[in-house]
A and B are shown apart, each in its own frame.
Chain A
Amino acid sequence: MKAQHDVEQFLYRQSELLDTRQWQKWIDLFTPDGIYWMPPDASYKTWDGQPAIFAEDKNLMTVRMLRVLHPDAWSQRPLWGTNHVVSNVCIRKENKNGDVDVTSRFHMMELRRDDVRHFAGSYFHKLKKTKRGYSIQLQRVDMTNAQAAYDYVLQVWV
C-alpha cells in the first residue's frame, strides 16, 4: 500500500512539473543514465537503434530544455500550456530493493495559440528507489495517437 501511494505521488509530481514548466526539476527526476522514450508504435521493444518520436538521455533532454528557454524559439512564443491527468496506476513488479515497474494511463490537453490538441496513452515507468525517493531509469510513453499524422509537432515531453 505504501509503495502504491508513493508511486502515485511521484507520478503526480512528474506531471505537475511538466504542466508548470519546471524543466530542470523534471529532468532531475531521471537517473544519470535515465531515458525518456516514445516509440512510433506499441510494437517496438527497444529504443536503441530504432526510429523514435523521443529517445532522449539527460544530455538530449538538456538540449530540448535550453531550446525552449531560448528567446528565439519562435514556435514556443505563442500562448502555450498543457494539462496532464495520470490515472490507472498499477505496480507491475516490485523488487526487494524497492525498485518498481509501473504502468499508468495519461491524458494531456495542450493549448497552443487558439488550438486545443489531445494526446493520450500509457506510461511505463522503471523506477529506482533511492534515499530521496524514486528516480526514473526508463519512461516509455505509448501514445494512442502516436501513429496519427501530427497536426503541428510536439515541442516538449508528454
Chain B
Amino acid sequence: MPQERISNFARMVEADRVRKEVYTDAQIFEREMERIHETVWIYCGHESQVPKAGDYCTVQIGRQPMIMVRGKNGKVNVLYNRCPHRGNMICGDREGNTGEQFRCSYHAWTFQLDGKLKNIPMKSAYEGTRYEKDNPDCSVKKAARVENYRGFVFASLSSSGPSLKEFLGKSIVAFDDMCDRAPAGEVEVVPNCFRVIQHSNWKLFLENQLDALHPSVVHQSTGRAAHEVEKILAKKARGGAAPLSYHMLSAFATVTIDKWDDFQTLNYPYGHCILTGYMGLRPQDPDTLAYDKVMIKAYGKKRFEKIVGVNIHHVLVYPGLSVQSPLQQLRAVRPLGVDRTLTEIWHFRLKGAPEAIYRRSLAYYNLVNSPATLINADDLENFWKCHQGLSSDGGDWVSLARHHGRDIEKNGVVSSGPKMGTSEAPMRNQMKAWAHFMKDAR
C-alpha cells in the first residue's frame, strides 16, 4: 500500500466506503491497537468472575496481557501481567486464586494483590542499586484507569480521556437493561466462557453484529431446519407450541427482510450502536407470566413495564463488546492480529429470576454461542472469505452505502431512516469513530 495513505488515516474512510487496508494492513492494525484498544475503555470481565480476594482472571486489552484480580479490600484491580524484574508473565493460567500475593515463577519476587512489591528475595544483593522496595518500577504496573458499572469492569490504559460513563453514553443501556431485568437488580456470570477464534480482522465481527440484512442470507440453513422441526413439535403439542428455543433459531429464516427493516438502528458517538427489535420480546407463556409476577413485586407495575418495554436486539459497545441484554449474553472481541480475532462469550444469570428464565436464555447461549453453534459457523465462514477477498487486489474499497444519505441525525444520535433497519448506518458509524480515533496517528 502507498506510504502516504498509511500516514493519512482520515482519507481511508469516506462517508459511504472504506479502504480495504483498514482491515488487512498489519501496520494499521498496530496503530489501531495503540490508538483505540489501548486507549479507550475496554471490558475486562464481570466482578462475579472474581468473587473472593485473590481470585483472578487474565484478559487481553489490545496487545497487552492483563490480570483482573480481586484485592484484599474487595476492590477489583487490573494489572499488567508482567513481572517488573525480568518481564515474566505473572499468571500463566486463564483464571485461578493466587492467595494473598502474586509470586513470580522465575525469581520469586512477590507482589500484593494491587501490584505493589511485597518482597524481593536476596534483598541485600540489591542494596545501592535502583531496585529498591519503594521504587515504583519494582511494582507491577496497573491499568491507568479502572471503573466498574453495575458489576461490569472496564479498564483504560490511558490516564486521560472521557470517564467510563461519558464514553459509554447511551450504550450504557446494555448493562442497565441486563441488570434491570433481574428482580434483584443485578446479574452474575454463569461460570463458563466459550472461546472461538475467527480468521479475520476484528472489525468484521463488530460490523456483522448489527447487519440486519445478513441473517436471512447467512443463517437460512439453520432457520429452515429449525422451522421444520418446530412445525412437527407444535403439531405434537396439539395446540401448544414448540419450545421457544426453536423459534429463536427459526426466526433467522422466518423473519423476512422487510420485517428486519422494521427494526431501527441507533448510532452514537465513539462508535457505539444499537439494533432495536427483539425476537419474542413479550411472550405470554406461563414461565414469562411467573417471571412478570416476581418483577412486578420487585419494581412495581409502572417501573416493570418500563423495564420489559426496552426494545433491544443488540448493543454494540465499540470497539470490543457485543451485548444481547434481553438474553443476558455478551461477546467480548479480542483482536489477536490483523487477521485473527478471539471472541469470548459469556452468559449471565438474572439474580432473583425464576429458573425457567435462566434456562430460556441458556438455550440460546448453547445453540447460538457454543463452539458447536448452529448459527455462528456460517458467520465465521463469511469472515474468513471476507478477509481473503479483501487481501486481494481485486478492488480497493469496501462499500457501506446501503441507505446512505437517508440517515436522520438528531442531538448527536444518528438513526437509520424509517423502515430501513437493514441500513449500513452502524458500519458507517463505527468507521466514523475509527477515523476519529486514528486521525492524528502516525
Mark A residues whose CB is within 8 Å of B.
38, 40, 49-55, 59-60, 62-68, 70-76, 149-155
In the bound assembly, the distance between CA atoms of A76 and B226 in angstroms comes to 17
Q: A53-B194, A70-B222 are in contact. List 18 more A-B contacts (CB 8 A).
A: A49-B355, A50-B362, A51-B192, A51-B347, A51-B366, A52-B370, A53-B372, A63-B229, A64-B225, A70-B221, A70-B225, A71-B221, A73-B222, A74-B378, A74-B381, A74-B382, A152-B196, A154-B371
Query: In the complex the two chains form, is B370's CB within 8 Å of A54's CB?
Result: yes
Q: Which of A72, A149, A154 contacts B195 (CB 8 A)?
A: A149
Determine the residue in chain A with the shortest Cβ distance to B371: A150
A63-B225, A73-B221, A153-B373 in contact; A55/B366 too (CB < 8 A)? yes
Residues of A within 8 A of B359 (CB): 49
Residues of A within 8 A of B197 (CB): 149-152
Residue of A65, A149, A154 with most partner-chain B CB within 10 A: A149
Residue of A40, A49, A71, A74 with most partner-chain B CB within 10 A: A74
A51-B365, A153-B372 in contact; A74/B218 too (CB < 8 A)? yes
Determine the residue in chain B with the shortest Cβ distance to A59: B229
A51-B347, A75-B378, A155-B377 in contact; A67/B225 too (CB < 8 A)? yes
Pick 26 A–B contacts, CB within 8 A, sort by A: A40-B194, A49-B358, A49-B362, A51-B190, A51-B192, A54-B372, A60-B229, A63-B225, A63-B228, A63-B229, A67-B222, A68-B221, A70-B220, A73-B221, A74-B221, A74-B381, A74-B382, A75-B378, A149-B197, A149-B342, A150-B196, A152-B196, A152-B197, A153-B371, A153-B373, A155-B377
Q: Which of A38, A63, A151 contacts B249 (CB 8 A)?
A: A63
Shortest Cβ distance from A94 into chain B, in angstroms? 31
In the bound assembly, the distance between CA atoms of A68 and B374 in angstroms comes to 9
Query: In the complex the two chains form, is B221's CB within 8 Å of A53's CB?
Result: no
Query: In the complex the two chains form, is B372's CB within 8 Å of A154's CB?
Result: yes
Residues of A within 8 A of B347 (CB): 51
Residues of A within 8 A of B373 (CB): 153
Residues of B within 8 A of A38 (CB): 372
In the bound assembly, the distance between CA atoms of A53 and B198 in angstroms comes to 18
Residues of A within 8 A of B380 (CB): 75, 152-153
Mark B residues whose CB is within 8 Å of A.
190, 192, 194-199, 218, 220-222, 224-226, 228-229, 232-233, 246, 249, 342, 347, 355, 358-359, 362, 365-367, 370-374, 376-378, 380-382
Shortest Cβ distance from A112 into chain B, in angstroms? 10
In the bound assembly, the distance between CA atoms of A53 and B371 in angstroms comes to 6
Residues of B within 8 A of A150 (CB): 194-197, 371
In the bound assembly, the distance between CA atoms of A71 and B225 in angstroms comes to 11
For the complex, would chain B's binding face be called helix, strand, loop or mixed by DSSP majority? helix
Query: In the complex the two chains form, is A66's CB within 8 Å of B228's CB?
Result: yes
Residues of A within 8 A of B198 (CB): 152
Query: In the complex the two chains form, is B342's CB within 8 Å of A53's CB?
Result: no
Residues of B within 8 A of A55 (CB): 366
In the bound assembly, the distance between CA atoms of A53 and B373 in angstroms comes to 8
Residues of B within 8 A of A59 (CB): 229, 232-233
Determine the residue in chain A with the shortest Cβ distance to B195: A149
In the bound assembly, the distance between CA atoms of A17 and B232 in angstroms comes to 25
Query: In the complex the two chains form, is A72's CB within 8 Å of B196's CB?
Result: no
Shortest Cβ distance from B274 into chain A, in angstroms? 27
Shortest Cβ distance from B225 into chain A, in angstroms? 3
In the bound assembly, the distance between CA atoms of A71 and B197 in angstroms comes to 25
Q: Which of A64, A71, A72, A74 contacts B374 (CB 8 A)?
A: A64
Query: In the complex the two chains form, is A67's CB within 8 Å of B374's CB?
Result: yes
Determine the residue in chain A with the shortest Cβ distance to B373: A153
Q: Which of B194, B220, B246, B355 contacts A72 (CB 8 A)?
A: B220
Q: Which of A54, A60, A72 contacts B221 (CB 8 A)?
A: A72
Residues of A within 8 A of B367 (CB): 60
Residue of B226, B358, B380, B381 with most partner-chain A CB within 10 A: B381
Residues of B within 8 A of A63 (CB): 222, 225-226, 228-229, 246, 249, 374
In the bound assembly, the distance between CA atoms of A127 and B380 in angstroms comes to 36
Determine the residue in chain A with the shortest Cβ distance to B381: A75
In the bound assembly, the distance between CA atoms of A46 and B246 in angstroms comes to 22
Residues of B within 8 A of A51 (CB): 190, 192, 194, 347, 362, 365-366, 370
